[in-house]
Amino acid sequence: MKLKRILSISMTMTMTMARKMAMLMTIALAMSLAATVAASELSDGLNVRANSSSINQAAGPGIIAMAAESFKTGGEEELVKASLLTETGAVTPGGSLLAGIRLQMEDGWYVYWKNPGDSGIPTSVSWNLPQGFTAGELMWPWPGIFYTDSFISYGYKEEVVLFTELMAPADAGTGSNITLSASVTWLVCKDICIPGSAELSEIVRVTDTRPDVISENRELFDRYRERLPVSIPELEASATEDTRTIVLNLKHSGLKNADVNNLVFYCSEEGIVESGAEQYFEVTDHGLRIMLQKSAFINKEISTLKGVLFNAGGWGGNGMKALSVTAVLSDN
């Protein structure tokens, strides 16, 4: 039997819900003030970019103090470069194409996963599509872990591509060009945190023939497609809970050889599992048992536990490192 404890962080390092709300309110105020300042400067004929304000994060033990401290103009350093890419330059009526929001961060800066962890705000993508077109759910590559003062966060450094499958209506007119648009917002952090946003668009053609992959996007799309969590139909997942703990039981023969030193479970929804608490992994006869500490601030009934089981050593020899997990919760 193998047993390993990871992410051993003092409970005093866990962010309370009250501090999280304070962060959100401060960021909202900062962005509102930034927009006000930008509008004022624009009225004077200045060319101002109004999507960022800097927030100073002064962290002591168990404390976050967030303060909007400056509003920057057109000479502002671009900390996040956002772009909208598509795997193909065309789509067929009734068909689909894969779109990616690419975020490239300056060295040392990072943006957040869908569960940001102890602090932060998830990156958000809102699509504005032609009539009849629809967008699937945002696909998130597995995140990294960032230790900042007293907090553990989940997110991405350097670069990330967030995929969405876009579906065309069956009556889309062949030969026409259509514009795909997306509004993207993020919080980028290093020593301070700066909210940012971008309005992105890309033109693709509706065609009645199968479109080719755009050659310059092929490597990028393949690389980040490999980082998406994989769902395995044969994986059986169940979970039990009590007042303090969630026990996740996974059954699959391929899990029994896992090196528990390489494992991390990322809960997909914030506020359910303590990001900074220890995780216990135990190899069983059927697969894995994972013991997680519940958040002290759960304010709703939980029927399912969703997350990503990451193995730094990989699952098998095919390069797969992340498994998508969904388990129905029941009481102990």
Q: Is the pLDDT reported for residue 309 higher than 70?
A: yes
The closest of 121, 291, 90, 324 to 208, measured between CA atoms, is: 90
Q: How confident is the model at residue 256 (pLDDT cuts 50, 70, 90)?
A: confident
Burial class (CB in 10 A: 0-12, 13-18, 19+), 47: exposed
User: How far apart are the C-alpha atoms of 89 and 128, rounded to whole Å?
Assistant: 18
Note the pLDDT of residue 228.
Answer: 97
pLDDT at 305: 95
The pLDDT, as a whole number, for residue 262 is 93
Average pLDDT for 146-156:
87
Mean pLDDT of 27-36: 49
Is a pLDDT exceeding 80 seen at residue 17? no
The per-residue pLDDT for 21 is 53
Tell me: pLDDT of 295 over 80.
Answer: yes
What is the per-residue pLDDT for 299?
A: 75
In three state form, how does the secondary structure of 112-166 look? EEEEEECCCCCCEEEEECCCCCEECCCECCCCEEEEECCEEEEEEECEEEEEEEE
Parallel/antiparallel/unpaired status of strands 322-331 and 304-311: antiparallel
Rounded average pLDDT over 65-92: 69
- Report whether pLDDT(93) > 90: yes
On average, the pLDDT of the chain sits at: 81
CB contact set of 266 (below 8 Å; sequence gap of 6+)? 113, 115, 142, 143, 154, 307, 308, 310
Question: Both tokens of residue 220?
Answer: 């990028």
Higher-scoring residue by pLDDT: 41, 163: 163
What are the pLDDT digits (tens) for 42-63? 344 333 333 333 333 333 322 2
308 has a pLDDT exceeding 70 = yes
Residue 144 clears pLDDT 80, i.e. is over it: yes
Q: Which residues of 55-91 are buried (b: 16+ CB within 10 A; e: fewer)?
A: bebebeeeebebebeebbeeebeebbebebbbbbbbb
Checking 277-281 for CB contacts under 8 A at 24+ apart, the result is 277/7, 277/9, 277/11, 277/14, 278/5, 278/6, 278/7, 278/8, 278/9, 279/5, 279/6, 279/7, 280/3, 280/4, 280/5, 281/2, 281/3, 281/4, 281/6
Name the segment(s) of the chain with CATH classification 2.60.40.1250: 77-225
**Res. 65: pLDDT tops 70:** no
Q: What pLDDT is attached to residue 20? A: 55
- 283: tokens are 């190899």
Q: pLDDT category, 23, cuts 50, 70, 90? A: low
pLDDT reading at 184 higher than 60: yes
Q: Is the pLDDT of residue 141 over 80?
A: yes
- With cut-offs at 50, 70 and 90, classify the pLDDT of residue 31: low
From 13-17, 100-104, 190-194, 295-299, the region with the lowest mean pLDDT: 13-17
Percent of the chain surpassing pLDDT 90: 61
Mean pLDDT, residues 270-285? 91
Kindly indicate whether the domain formed by 229-331 is annotated with CATH number 1.25.10.
no
* Better-predicted residue by pLDDT, 319 or 130: 130
Least confident among 15-29, 72-86, 232-246? 15-29
The pairing of strands 322-331 and 236-241 is parallel
Higher pLDDT, 314 or 55: 314
Q: Please answer whether residues 205 and 89 qualify as being in contact, where contact means their C-beta atoms are separated by less than 8 angstroms.
A: yes
Q: Does domain 77-225 have CATH number 2.60.40.1250?
A: yes
pLDDT confidence tier of residue 331, bands split at 50, 70 and 90: confident
Q: What is the pLDDT of residues 186-207, one digit of tens each?
A: 999 998 999 999 999 999 999 9
| Distinct helix (H) and strand (E) counts, the chain | 2, 21
- Give the pLDDT band of residue 302 (cuts 50, 70, 90): confident
